Amino acid sequence: MYKNLAMVCLIGALSASCTGNCSGKPDATKAPRSEKSVVMAKEGEMFLLAGTYTSAEGSKGVYVYRFDTVTGESGQISMVVVSNPSYLVLSPDEKYVYTVGENDKGNSAVHAFAFDKKNGNLTNINSQLTNSAGPCYITIDNRGKNVHTANYGGGSISSFQVKSDGSLTPATSVMLFEGSGPDTKRQESPHLHSVRYSPDGHFLFATDLGTDKLYRFSVSDTPFEGQPSIYESSLTEFAAPAGTGPRHFDFHPDGGRYLYLLGELSGEIIVYDYHFGELQQKQVIASDTVGARGSADIHVSPDGRYLYASNRLQADGVSIFSINSDDGTLEKVGYQPTGKHPRNFVITPNGKFLLVACRDDNVIQVFRINEETGLLTDINKDIYISMPVCLKFATSAE
């Protein structure tokens, strides 16, 4: 249940440099600058983009690295200042990068950047307010036309359209949800935590940690200019078990036949059969076995054989599951300890490496994936960065 409010957003922005400390509340009216450098592409090399929290000294925004998907070697290329870019997404053609600015209601924003693959630089295009507090996740459709944020603090979804130059319109809608869950401290109100399109692009799904709900919207393929691509009339709610605290989810790469939902509070993974917007629960299995109530991120390996889920607050690490090829169910096969507070993680497209953003140890850890067992090995090629929380790969320039 929500109210659909058309919003007109103001342009926010940032300021920049590559070194030095960052403290205090960022001024959302200053335009960012980015440091320049040259990147040479080679076989196996990709761009690694890292979003960070900038409230602590040392981190300033989004950092761009080169990463060799054969050797696991990396090196910093450039950065651009953004206030608390805790999640980012690339456009389908990878010409643009969109980040959240996870702040309070008055300063929370989405930021659009042009991504130059010749030198690895990000250049600010524009920014728009989300008109809702704490955007923590951002997604874009497979045509690169619509962007949505999940707003944890505001309990809402903000929607934007993308113009031909990659810039964002003011918010076309802010959808406010209602409800609560059994945990009176962490589920006192809606907390939207992620929002993603189904693999076929016909539906938009969103998780609500505060109400134990998974929401589904039908998508309008050709919304008029200034109109949202999702509407209240198409809303369908799927209830997770009470106290789950739905956080992140992933689809199986084999046509999205299965959806895997991670509960932050329960520490459990819920496995669903998925078919054209419909979900049928088939399994619940523990990722966090110590009751830490801090499960964070979940991803299926590119070959669809393994699933990984990060857990924080106690026994920090990554749970490793094999996926049954016949029915998509999970069997736990291992657990890999990591640095403190493993947040988002990412798997290289070739399936050889898994990189973990360990926020409280100020490091991105690089693990090699055993293709026969799915188990992880730390190759000791850490990337040191203050408060990393989001990792994304992009192809390098040809």
DSSP assigned state of 328: -
110 burial (CB, 10 Å; 0-12 / 13-18 / 19+) is buried
Q: Quick one: pLDDT at residue 264? A: 98
Give the domains, in start order, of the chain with CATH numbers: 2-395 (2.130.10.10)
58 burial (CB, 10 Å; 0-12 / 13-18 / 19+) is middle
Q: Quick one: pLDDT at residue 42? A: 54
The pLDDT-based confidence of 58 (bands split at 50, 70, 90) is confident
What's the pTM value of the predicted model, to 2 decimals? 0.89
- The span from the CA of 57 to the CA of 18, in Å, is 13
> Strand 268-275 to strand 258-263: parallel, antiparallel, or no bridges (unpaired)?
antiparallel
Q: Which two tokens mark 80?
A: 């651009």
Give the residue among 225, 202, 205, 105 at the shortest CA–CA distance from 148: 205
Q: Quick one: pLDDT at residue 336? A: 98
φ, ψ for residue 232, nearest 5 deg: -55, -35
**Is pLDDT at 109 greater than 90 in this prediction?**
yes
CA 244 to chain centre: 19
Q: What is the mean pLDDT of residues 230-236?
A: 92
Strand partners, 97: 90, 113
Which is more confident, 39 or 182? 182
Residues 6+ apart with CB under 8 A from 311: 267, 287, 288, 292, 294, 295, 296, 317, 318, 319, 342
- The span from the CA of 379 to the CA of 121, in Å, is 28
Q: Cα separations (Å) of 100 from 113, 326, 352, 373, 381?
A: 12, 38, 29, 36, 28
**Torsion angle (degrees, nearest 10) of CA 49, 111, 300, 372:** 0
Span of 34-48, 188-202, 263-277 with lowest mean pLDDT: 34-48
Q: What is the mean pLDDT of residues 61-84?
A: 97
Q: What is the mean pLDDT of residues 218-231?
A: 82
**Is pLDDT at 351 greater than 50 in this prediction?**
yes
Q: Quick one: pLDDT at residue 136? A: 98
- The span from the CA of 346 to the CA of 336, in Å, is 15
Q: Quick one: pLDDT at residue 1? A: 42
DSSP string, 255-295: TT-EEEEEETTT-EEEEEEEETTEEEEEEEEES-SS--S-E
**Is pLDDT at 55 greater than 90 in this prediction?**
no
- The span from the CA of 271 to the CA of 290, in Å, is 21
Tell me the pLDDT tens digit for each residue of 290-335. Answer: 999 999 999 999 999 999 999 999 999 999 999 999 999 999 999 9
- The span from the CA of 280 to the CA of 217, in Å, is 17
Tell me the pLDDT tens digit for each residue of 234-284. Answer: 999 999 999 999 999 999 999 999 999 999 999 999 999 999 999 999 999
- The span from the CA of 329 to the CA of 349, in Å, is 23
**Is pLDDT at 127 greater than 50 in this prediction?**
yes
- The span from the CA of 258 to the CA of 272, in Å, is 6
Let me know: does 296 contact 248? Beta carbons within 8 Å.
yes
Residues 6+ apart with CB under 8 A from 266: 241, 243, 244, 245, 293, 295
Span of 46-60, 156-170, 220-234, 330-344 with lowest mean pLDDT: 220-234
Span of 33-47, 54-68, 268-282 with lowest mean pLDDT: 33-47
Q: Quick one: pLDDT at residue 10? A: 30
Q: What is the mean pLDDT of residues 172-189?
A: 97
Tell me the pLDDT tens digit for each residue of 130-174. Answer: 999 999 999 999 999 999 999 999 999 999 999 999 999 999 999
3-state DSSP call for residue 306? strand
Q: What is the mean pLDDT of residues 191-196?
A: 98
The pLDDT-based confidence of 13 (bands split at 50, 70, 90) is very low
Give the residue among 130, 67, 16, 58 at the shortest CA–CA distance from 365: 67
The pLDDT-based confidence of 97 (bands split at 50, 70, 90) is very high
The pLDDT-based confidence of 398 (bands split at 50, 70, 90) is low
Mean pLDDT estimate for the chain = 90
